[in-house]
Amino acid sequence: MPPKAKPRVVYWFRTDLRLHDSPALAAALELKPSVLYPIWTWDPHYVYRARVGPNRWKFLLDCQSDLSTSITELNPKSKLFLIREAPQTLFPKLFKEWKITHLVFEKDTDAYARDRDAEVMQIAKDAGVQVIVKMGRTLYDPDALVQHNHGKPTMSMSQVQAAGKQIGDIARPIPAPTSLPDPGETTLSFAQEKPGPEPDINAIQRDGNEASYSSLAGPNGDFAVPTMEELGLKEATTLHRGGETIALDMLSAIIKNESYTATFEKPKTAPTAFSPQATTLLSPHMHFGSLSCREFYWRVQDVVDAYKKAGKHASEPPTSLTGQLLFRDMYFGAQAKLGYAFGQTYGNPQCRFIPWHLPSEIDTATGLITGRYLTDNATAESYFLRWKEGRTGFPWIDALMRQLRLEGWIHHLGRHAVASFLTRGGCYVDWERGAEVFEEWLIDHEAACNIGNWQWLSCTAFFSQFYRVYSPVAFPAKWDKEGAFVRRYVPELARFDKKYIYEPWKAPIADQKAWGCVIRGDGVKSEEGEYRVYPKPMFDFATQREVCIQGLKNAYKVGLHGNDAKVLDGTWRKLFDDEAEGPTEGNDGPPGAMVEHEDADGHEEVEHVAPPTPKKGKGKTGHKREKIQGTLDRLVTRKKAKT
């Protein structure tokens, strides 16, 4: 037997942009490598296929820069090597060129990541490269949670806690390495394979030329972290900054405040608080792995234990700080089992079917949503756009949506408020539309958590008390009587009396003028003469709340889930009578709630983006919804006419 060659290791950073508490990195170092290449591959899935706004891009680049600096501090010859090619095409060439013996990375149970990693592992096997995968992204391995939950997705906290108990203790954090091996030669003599940019879902995030794949090692040939300009991205507007250094400082500051750490109760933190906000703001660091969730867990738990030992009362999961991590694990466990289906209603056995407005288009070949949607109703489309753009006429909702777009982060209860408003407690728009907006704008967007929370708030999974609706007036007033939050993010209302801050349309015209802002229109115009303009509310909330509750009640009674045969083939329409909200018109239709494509039986084809032409009633049912909508429209019109 020839002497075994010393390991030449590629450490592939993905969801773990840190040096502290990385089980995978520790495993790489245990190999005692002769060379270690810390690399990042530029995945076209992220560049072109996922929705990523400039703020999250910026946070990612921050994390990469900080990590690269930290690596160089441990070994001046090393850094984070960014290689601009898809991992699936890069690795076969890279393994050969750099004579790699081992590939090490952290486990990722996201639906796409599983496909990608399976492919990469096969590539490595073919190349004779040994692969080491370690779990470090969640408290528990999501697959283990599923296994200990009788093979089922984790859909409640009690399931997570029961499964976790069986799995055993949560691993203690591993110290950061104190040294790193040299990288080897970094010559790249092979040709770069550029991925096709189509479809490029992120074109709208750029105002310059996208140059991710200009060359393998970047414009200066030094594998450096790109700039926003280089990627052609629009300027980031958030002040939240990424990187492990900042994350660890933030964590230290939090646990230094022992009573805050030990008595934290999420439902009691104010969603209206800003500078400083009421929660930790560590979620984006969890997402990019610039902070380990286990590091967070144990640093907090140690404070809690000491607090209890001193005889003081500490909070408990699920409302405590560590409880927040258990929710995260719950959503990862659900996603781990359900895969792509978790992110959509269609084909999802856990997700209730509700005939929402603006449903997703389904690719019947794959059963997956395409990213486009059916504009079944022009009013709902306008509700959706006004919600997204922060001009609903409800200051609480608009302030949150503007904060979200500007800063990429809003408080958890703020997310509840806008999500409830868009779906079951206001607009009756599909939760998948809202999830897409959050995916685009949140700097802490975590697919599993985002999807799970949207299902929760839309009462399609995890939660079902749909009659508990968040009021855009009463709810914020509970936290912020003065309306400071609204004044900060909706500055046109800054001078309004607190009596009207959440319902400015009720202020007398003379007062509106005295306060420098008149309430009229739909929010497209921001000024009129000498006055600023803030829109009228886009509907009567109490009326719309009732419409939604009745719609949900009816859909619950019908009792379909995303994998029901009737949902898959479109015959669900037969089960929804006049009382239903949503695009239920007619008894026949294509799968899910999608639009007809190839049916030749006289159905009209409907464009996905253009406002729909209201269909004339052909079937015996399906008109009540339009009637409800009509009633609502008339109601708003009448109100407009009066003032």
| Binding annotation | 279-283, 324-331
Whichever of 157 and 250 has its CB closer to DNA, that residue is 157
- For residue 165, give the nearest of 143, 140, 138 by alpha carbon: 140
In DSSP terms, which residues pair with 532 in a beta bridge? Answer: 517, 527
Q: Should residue 498 be labelled a site residue for DNA when binding is judged by CB under 7 A? A: no
- 163/148 Cα distance (integer angstroms): 5
Asked if 463 touches DNA (CB under 7 A), the answer is: yes
User: Do 439 and 282 meet the contact criterion of CB atoms below 8 Å apart?
Assistant: no
Nearer to DNA, 64 or 154 (CB): 154
Angle value at C-alpha 311, between 305 and 314, nearest 5 degrees: 55
- Cβ 478 to DNA shortest distance, Å: 6
93 binds DNA (CB under 7 A): no
Q: Is the peptide bond before 276 cis (omega within 30 degrees of 0)?
A: yes
Residue 539 interacts with DNA (CB under 7 A): yes or no: no
Write out the binding residues for DNA, residues 575-634 only, by CB under 7 A.
Answer: none
Q: Which stretch binds DNA (CB under 7 A): 44-52, 57-65, 467-475, 600-608?
A: 467-475
Residue 491's alpha-carbon distances to 46, 88, 389, 517, 567, in angstroms, are: 35, 48, 15, 10, 45
Selected range binding DNA among 153-161, 495-503, 582-590, 619-627, rule: CB under 7 A: 153-161
Decide: is 456 part of the binding site for DNA (CB under 7 A): yes
Q: Are strands 360-363 and 368-373 parallel, antiparallel or unpaired?
A: antiparallel
Residues contacting residue 400 through CB under 8 Å, at least 6 positions apart: 271, 390, 410, 414, 415, 417, 418, 489
Annotated binding-site positions for FAD = 279-283, 324-331
Q: Which tokens sit at 565? A: 């045969």
Q: Which of 199, 208, 491, 559 binds DNA (CB under 7 A)?
A: 559
Binding mask 377-416 for DNA (x = CB under 7 A): -----------------------------------xx--x
Q: Which of 575, 600, 578 is nearest to 587 (CA)?
A: 575
Write down the least CB distance from residue 553 to DNA, Å. 5
Residue from 212, 322, 324, 377 that binds DNA (CB under 7 A)?
324
CA-CA distance, 78 to 341, in Å (whole number)? 41
As measured in angstroms, the least distance from the Cβ of 454 to DNA is 12
- Matching residue, tokens 């790109």: 226
Q: Is 464 in the site for DNA (CB under 7 A)?
A: yes
- Please provide residue 429's backbone torsions phi and psi, each rounded to the nearest 5 degrees: -100, 145
How many residues form the binding site for DNA (CB under 7 A)?
33
Q: Which stretch binds DNA (CB under 7 A): 27-35, 109-117, 315-323, 608-616?
A: 315-323
C-beta closer to DNA: residue 28 or 555: 555
Subset of 265-284 contacting DNA (CB under 7 A): 265-267
CA 498/CA 488 separation, integer angstroms: 13
Residue from 296, 383, 466, 489 binding DNA (CB under 7 A): 466
Q: How far apart are CA 122 and CA 104, in angstroms?
A: 14
Site residues for DNA per CB under 7 A: 156-159, 265-267, 318-319, 323-324, 327, 412-413, 416, 456, 463-471, 473-475, 478, 553, 556-557, 559
